[in-house]
Amino acid sequence: MGIAEYGTTGFFVLPRMSFRNRRDKLLFADLMERASYKDGAGQKRGELLFNAAEFEREVGWTRKAITTSLNHLVKDGLIKISAAKRRCDGVFITILHYSKMQDLSSYKVQNSSGKGTKEGQSTDNEGAIKGQSSESGNPCGSKDEGSSQMTEGTIKGQSNAHEGTKEGQSLFIKQQEQQYEHKNHLKDLPEQLSRLEHVESFVDSQMLANPISTLPRKLFVEYFNTIRLKRATGRIATGKATKIWDKLLSYWQNKKLADTPDGRAAIILYALSLHVMKFDDKQEEYTYGIIRNTSEHEARQKMLKLRNQGGAGREIAPTGTDSGRAEYHQKRRSF
């Protein structure tokens, strides 16, 4: 039976290498097999589109396992990840040094000390993919003197050449994972935030994907719950709450508000605390006004006054039993 009868459309060279675990090895083999062998169709040689959601469905791995293995391959200097033109397409992956991996002349047998060692890609990357297999004395590829060079040699050159790139790719993968978890949180939320539990889940989701400095979770929970209770129905649309969060985030990122992130966070802390403690009958626009018209110095001074007036903890949890507004909020929560 000939090769064509198996439905074969071609072949690719898969170097024998050491990986952190078998999952990384299998994923890299899949990426190598699906990478473009030549330029064309919007992709260059060694490039491919990778959709983690599709891979998850087909293979059965968890999304966390997939992103962890991708992260390993990036850190080991084997792949580079960038955003695709359309988010629904997944991510764009480039196999680093793909052409050398496919060049059989890169794998030269050396017979020094009686044991052969195949060297790949060592010209430009000190020891990259070095000592991947031995001669007939080690047909199954078990570790000997030749293959043990992988510990020091594998990807050493790539790590040096792509140190900055790897950090960026690692951050990119982390952001992708956070966005995925954020979307899952939003899917679990109702269209209307009608209970405190809904508000807490919403805040958790936003703090995961779009954190505003290191301001306390309870502050945001109380603020958004206050905004919810201001509505006649005691509800607020999840989409509207998201817009409010994005507005607060934009203030924190606006350098015109204050010179430092901590300074901008101090203004937002004061504005939200003041709104919750003394102006809970106002809409969110009132908060925006406080933020726009308060300097960092004023915010810090006025925040101290709030605490000295007995609000030291209430700007974080104003619905505690010591708050005169707790009863008021409790009544409004009956909606």
Q: Residue 309 gets which letter from DSSP?
A: I
Binned average pLDDT, 10 residues per bin, the chain of 335 residues: 57 88 93 88 88 90 91 92 82 91 78 43 42 42 44 46 52 54 57 92 85 89 94 92 94 93 94 92 94 95 84 40 43 39
State the pTM of this model.
0.44
Q: What is the distance between the alpha carbons of residues 201 and 209, in angstroms, rounded to a whole number?
A: 13
Would you say the C-alpha torsion 307, 312, 316, 321 has a positive or negative sign? negative
Largest CA distance in the chain: 89
pLDDT of residue 31: 95
Both tokens of residue 271? 């504005």
Instruction: Compute the half-sphere exposure of residue 140: CA atoms within 13 Å on the CB side of its CA.
Output: 1
pLDDT of residue 146: 43
Both tokens of residue 297? 């110095």
Instruction: Compute the half-sphere exposure of residue 252: CA atoms within 13 Å on the CB side of its CA.
Output: 21
Whether the CB-CB separation of 315 and 273 falls below 8 Å is answered with yes
Residue 125, exposed/middle/buried by CB under 10 A (0-12, 13-18, 19+)? Answer: buried
Whether the CB-CB separation of 81 and 70 falls below 8 Å is answered with yes
pLDDT of residue 121: 43
Instruction: Compute the half-sphere exposure of residue 273: CA atoms within 13 Å on the CB side of its CA.
Output: 25
Q: What is the distance between the alpha carbons of residues 241 and 284, in angstroms, rounded to a whole number?
A: 10
